[in-house]
Structure 1
Amino acid sequence: MFNYFQTKTIETSGAKINLVIGGQGEPLLLLHGYPQTHLMWHKIAHLLAEDFTVIATDLRGYGASSKPPGEPDHSNYAKRVMAQDQVEVMFQLGYETFALVGHDRGARVAHRLTLDYPTKVKKLALLDILPTYELYANSDREFATAYYHWFFLIQPYPFPETLISNNAEYFLRHCLSQWSKVDDAFTQATIAEYLLYFDDWATIHSTCEDYRAAASIDSIHDQLNREQKITCPLLVLWGKQGIIGKKYDILASWTAKAINVQGKGLNCGHFLPEEAPNETYSALRNFLVV
């Protein structure tokens, strides 16, 4: 699905990161969300590659990237560590600075990366998220019902791993269908590709660790940096039919976290690049191309 892209594996100080790279121009790093892989960008990566050198990675613990067992404090899946992976990848590819787009979990990694390495990121786009700390701190019944997985996946090992692995395909399909509002967003071939990597104990465990870190060590890091603002230009996009778009004032939330913010909702659910690829691409290109 990534014609004319090259596949690479880069070893960072803590993980082996799988990626595809293609196109020409300034570097653009794309980070995916749960329960997906870099494949989620397949409808728009070739378009972005007309203006940028596009690098789409699998996060630590996802896809074909390595999946180290979780530490007792979940520190090796902290967003700070996952962000460091990506900075090291870009450095080894020869890029000191780059534009950055993240969706869902990848957007949370991107947010942390931009706080920890503010001189690295020229422009940042975050798709369908609000700051993690604020969502946990202000959780209510509506949010917990829609985002039940935030509370299920953080349960102690091996409870969620055992239940999910009993029927990983059912769980994966449920996540994709529940959070999507466009019927034909995912082809059977796409789902099969996601399942190829998700139906694996190591992946299920490491992705649970991603969420366990979010509710523990990431929360500590986020609290310490609550007053730190994103200094580069920020674009926020969200699905107007999803819980985030319906329930929260997304621009107001990110305006409190960044100096220069713009954004809008798209007529879709959670998976913007697959549900509304044309609108997502246009919004990203208009923002990223000077």
Structure 2
Amino acid sequence: MPETYDHNKKPVTHGMARVQNIRMHYITAGSGPALLLLHGTPKTHYYWYRIIPYLTPHFTIIAPDERGFGATDKPPASDGYDGATNAKDLIELMDHLGHEKFAVHSEDRGATYGFCLAGLHPDRVTHLSFCEMVLSDRLTEQSYFTRENIAAQFNQTGVWNWHIPFFWMPHVPEMLIQGREEEFWTHFMKAECYNPNAIEQEAIDEWVRCSRAPGGLRGILETYRAHWENVDVEAKIIEHGKLSCPVMTVGAPEFFGPIVKGQMERVSDNIVISEVFENCGHSLALEQPERLANLLRKFVLS
């Protein structure tokens, strides 16, 4: 496992927490207000290695491997991979670390969990940064095999999420991906970038290693097989009313782009920062870490 370092080139601290009968691996670093970082697919805490040195002078960073990923346990699907279960995992992690209140920065699949955290536990989340993601019902629509969805990724009005039903299928993605993890995940991640070299080979090698580990691929896929549960969980949050905390959105034109803001406008009347990073793709924290860190400081600390 490659190491992550703070702004003083000091290695981060690793730990294991017991949350909802699983062991969750996490890293901590820095000092200041607590900022929880939630990664996407097929990543781990190591996704944040470029942005953490920009954040640790200002925040206490907590970055877990989410349920099913990295060194965190990968329980049977019956134990739940939906947004509500993941939100409870993260609440118990922050309880374990003694953080009553905290800000959240979330990207991709992690933003599903970030939204559920803010919606289901409003007394705990002070700020929500919801980036490069849409709500689950929109994700359903963008997975359809239509001319409009396919064209959207070429005219920068959205993206065709072809992988949602593919990853949801029982057994088939395992059959096709196992033994070809390096080829599949390398293509999957680099195709989402504006600059494919922004994702270094060391990072790809780490995520490929994790997906090949016992339960690694299944753990990743179960987060997609919980899609319809996520639709229902998010619908209940929306029925309850708007989010109470300030919200920040960031999109990238090579992926979700400007539609991220519109998704949060459905659920929040308090969007205080919204940007689309030009010359950027789906991996914001790798492609434009300094710009993203500056926005987070402005959002949480101003």
The reply to whether TM is greater than 0.5 is: yes
Contact 2:143 2:160 in 1 (8 A): no
Structure 2 counterpart of 1:54 = 61
For 2:285, the aligned partner's letter is: P
Structure 2 counterpart of 1:249 = 259
Structure 2 counterpart of 1:155 = 169
Q: 1:274 aligns with which of 263, 267, 286?
A: 286
Q: Aligned pair in 2 of structure 1 residues 138, 208: CA closer, same or farther (>3 Å)?
A: closer
Contact 1:169 1:199 in 2 (8 A): no
Q: In 1, Cα distance between the equivalents of 2:115 and 2:191?
A: 25
Deviates more, 1:143-152 or 1:12-21: 143-152
Q: CA RMSD in A?
A: 1.6
- SS of the residue corresponding to residue 116 of structure 2 reads helix
For 2:220, the aligned partner's letter is: T
Instruction: List alignment gaps of at least 5 residues for structure 2.
Output: 151-158
Contact 2:253 2:277 in 1 (8 A): yes
Q: How far did residue 138 of structure 1 move?
A: 6.1
Q: How far did residue 77 of structure 1 move?
A: 0.5
State the percentage of identical aligned residues: 28
Q: In 2, Cα distance between the equivalents of 1:159 and 1:253?
A: 31
Contact 1:124 1:234 in 2 (8 A): yes
What whole-Å deviation, never above 9, does each CA across 1:215-241 have from its counterpart, x for those lacking one? x21122222233332110000001122
Deviates more, 1:138-147 or 1:25-34: 138-147
Contact 2:182 2:205 in 1 (8 A): no
- SS of the residue corresponding to residue 166 of structure 1 reads coil
Q: In 2, Cα distance between the equivalents of 1:153 and 1:77?
A: 14
Q: Aligned pair in 2 of structure 1 residues 62, 91: CA closer, same or farther (>3 Å)?
A: same
Structure 2 counterpart of 1:113 = 117
Deviates more, 1:185-194 or 1:268-277: 185-194
Q: How far did residue 139 of structure 1 move?
A: 5.0
Q: Aligned pair in 2 of structure 1 residues 147, 49: CA closer, same or farther (>3 Å)?
A: same
Structure 2 counterpart of 1:284 = 296
Q: In 2, Cα distance between the equivalents of 1:60 and 1:249?
A: 27
Q: 1:229 aligns with which of 242, 255, 269?
A: 242
Counterparts of 1:60-71 in structure 2 under 5 Å?
60-71=67-78
For 1:60, the aligned partner's letter is: R
Contact 1:230 1:257 in 2 (8 A): yes
TM-score between both structures, scaled by the size of structure 1: 0.92
Q: 2:135 aligns with which of 131, 138, 162?
A: 131
Q: How far did residue 67 of structure 1 move?
A: 0.3
Q: Aligned pair in 2 of structure 1 residues 161, 138: CA closer, same or farther (>3 Å)?
A: closer
Contact 1:14 1:85 in 2 (8 A): no
Q: Aligned pair in 2 of structure 1 residues 134, 187: CA closer, same or farther (>3 Å)?
A: closer
Q: How far did residue 14 of structure 1 move?
A: 3.2
Structure 2 counterpart of 1:258 = 268
TM-score between both structures, scaled by the size of structure 2: 0.89
Structure 2 counterpart of 1:102 = 106
For 2:126, the aligned partner's letter is: K
For 1:35, the aligned partner's letter is: P
Q: In 2, Cα distance between the equivalents of 1:143 and 1:119?
A: 38
Q: Number of residues paired by the alignment?
A: 282
- SS of the residue corresponding to residue 203 of structure 2 reads helix
Deviates more, 1:165-174 or 1:80-89: 165-174
Counterparts of 1:13-32 in structure 2 under 5 Å?
13-32=20-39
Q: How far did residue 184 of structure 1 move?
A: 1.9
Structure 2 counterpart of 1:202 = 215
